[in-house]
Amino acid sequence: MGLAYPDEQELEKAVEQLVEDQVASRIAGRDASLWGPEAEEEASKRLGWVDLHLTSVPLVEQVTSLRDDLRGRGLDRVVLCGMGGSSLAPEVICASAGVPLTVLDSSDPDMVREAIDADLESTVVVVSSKSGGTVETDSQRRAYEHAFEVAGIDPAERIVVVTDPGSPLDVEATEKGYRVFHADPQVGGRYSALTAFGLVPSGLAGADIGALLQEADEIAEDVAADDETNPALVLAALIGVANARGVDKLLLADAGSRNVGFGDWAEQLVAESTGKQGRGVLPVVVAGPHSPNADPSTPDEVVGMIGPMRDDHPVAASGYGFAVDAPLGALFLLWEYATAIVGRMIGIDPFDQPDVESAKQAARDMLGGGSSAPVAAFTDQGVTVYDTSGWLPEDVTTVREAIAALLDELDPERGYVAVQAYLDRYRDPSLAETRDVLATRTGRPTTFGWGPRFLHSTGQYHKGGPATGVYLQITSDPDQDLDVPGRPFTFGQFLLAQAVGDASVLSGRGRPVLRLHLDGSEGARAALREALG
């Protein structure tokens, strides 16, 4: 089928089919057969999220009492160490509630050092990892343990752990006497907003987590209903039918939602759940309804507006897009249902992430010296240019020409640009504006991700989804590198290995990757800005 937006009748038919197949009630009943025989085993241990509005209720009391205890001891600054599904939900929960939470989801040495140096005296650190083996999170924990010890503070007084029972982190934290919250092992990372992963850090930071569960409870019956008005069915039908027609990007704009930064959470859910086996839905998260890619949009995008809150129905679908909003707890559950249903419609397992490991392995190979160091093409104005696998034409000698050459590789109908900045997002927030600049320049869907954060979110799609992207990596010399205590590498070496490792996997799929490495000077940054525009 060609690239054409589905009409209303097709959408109605798709919803009717979902109703007839009883997809919603079967998800609620944890029917693991919905995604085919190959996905059944994984799905049979990944559907616990349907009942979290009930099963997580006892956590509210436990977290509130720990918060009161910590505050009584003057510990009111909460730092969360965790990647992907272990940090994206608390970030949106706390931002929406207006309570401060420092999210440390990076291996950037400057970012780690700044988080640690800020007010250690009043800090409690939540270390969250479902697997208990994520290297970024492990490294951040080690750095905090070291900092507490140097300051004469017992880490056991300050570190709270969230992990699955029996994980390596669980074992080590228990031995060390840390306070451990066990998460529900029947829930995967990106569906874990209403487990201990979402609730512990948010509750300690001061968000009303009881209200959040209540909000989810209020929509639970609607999203589980085999009914044409079920908002999850309407949302899924729109995205799923469009995808079958080649409309495979999902624009998410904040249109005045009270749920601050919701797009970043939905981005991981949709990209990692659907982007595999050469298929998937690419979320394109933009600031507002008038951002480039939203206005004008491209023919291969479903245009989704998050907000404003509607009284009658959480989802309003029209021929070319939708508006969706609800209280945050309800929105989590609604999108989880919708994403799992889209997974069924496009024929993939929405609960695995088969391509994430490849980049981790490539990073390990780099760190262990098992792969050769990348060779630069040239340096221009403090920016060293790397073209993984040598796709750059030989006569290209400037950053400006290199960016133009990358954009020349874009397919005008299906292609997208992914900017991946392995930098300190708190110090360099304006770099995210690169997205709008390149979206305007190319007229094509453009995503922006901070590395290594995006590796645990859209990273799966970039490696496992349709091979239609061109990739612009930005790396830099840090101000000052930092040791990872007890490890044979520094944070700076690890960060670079992550970028180089991911680039090698992407280029192994035949995609062009351009890495621009800044020497840390203002001149290099200015040269980059100038070459982008």
Ligand X SMILES: O=P(O)(O)OC[C@H]1O[C@H](O)[C@H](O)[C@@H](O)[C@@H]1O
Binding to ligand X by residue 86, rule CB under 6 A?
Answer: yes
Instruction: Identify the residue among 67, 435, 444, 456 touching ligand X (CB under 6 A).
Output: 456
> What is the three-class DSSP state of 421?
strand
Euclidean distance between CA atoms 157 and 410, whole angstroms = 52
Q: Which residue stretch of 77-85, 142-150, 340-348, 372-380 sits at the interface with ligand X (rule: CB under 6 A)?
A: 77-85
- Min separation Cβ 518 and ligand X, Å: 26
Q: Which residue stretch of 78-86, 202-210, 255-263, 478-486 sits at the interface with ligand X (rule: CB under 6 A)?
A: 78-86
Nearer to ligand X, 128 or 297 (CB): 128
Per-residue tokens: 39: 């996905």
Nearer to ligand X, 48 or 382 (CB): 48
On whether the CB atoms of residues 285 and 264 are closer than 8 A, the answer is yes
Binding residues for ligand X restricted to 339-368, rule: CB under 6 A: 353, 356
Binding to ligand X by residue 134, rule CB under 6 A?
Answer: yes
> What is the three-class DSSP state of 475?
strand
Euclidean distance between CA atoms 292 and 283, whole angstroms = 14
- Cα–Cα–Cα angle for 495, 517, 524, rounded to 5 degrees: 130
Give, in order, the Cα–Cα distances in Å from 418 to each of 438, 448, 455, 499. 10, 6, 12, 13
- Min separation Cβ 499 and ligand X, Å: 15
330 Cβ neighbours under 8 A, 6+ residues apart: 215, 216, 218, 219, 314
Binding-site size, ligand X (CB under 6 A): 15
Spell out, one character per residue from 260 to 299, where the chain touches ligand X: x when CB under 6 A holds, - when not: ------------x---------------------------
Nearer to ligand X, 92 or 383 (CB): 92
Binding to ligand X by residue 17, rule CB under 6 A?
Answer: no
Instruction: Identify the residue among 67, 141, 190, 344 touching ligand X (CB under 6 A).
Output: 190
The H-or-E segment that residue 216 falls in is helix 209-223
> What is the three-class DSSP state of 114?
helix
Rounded to the nearest 10°, the torsion over CA 365, 367, 371, 376 is: 140
Nearer to ligand X, 172 or 436 (CB): 172
On whether the CB atoms of residues 171 and 131 are closer than 8 A, the answer is no
Q: Which residue stretch of 79-87, 115-123, 299-307, 396-404 sits at the interface with ligand X (rule: CB under 6 A)?
A: 79-87
Binding to ligand X by residue 137, rule CB under 6 A?
Answer: yes
Q: Which residue stretch of 56-64, 81-89, 419-427, 435-443 sits at the interface with ligand X (rule: CB under 6 A)?
A: 81-89
Binding to ligand X by residue 449, rule CB under 6 A?
Answer: no
Euclidean distance between CA atoms 23 and 43, whole angstroms = 14
Binding to ligand X by residue 130, rule CB under 6 A?
Answer: yes
Binding residues for ligand X (CB under 6 A): 83-86, 129-131, 134, 137, 189-190, 272, 353, 356, 456
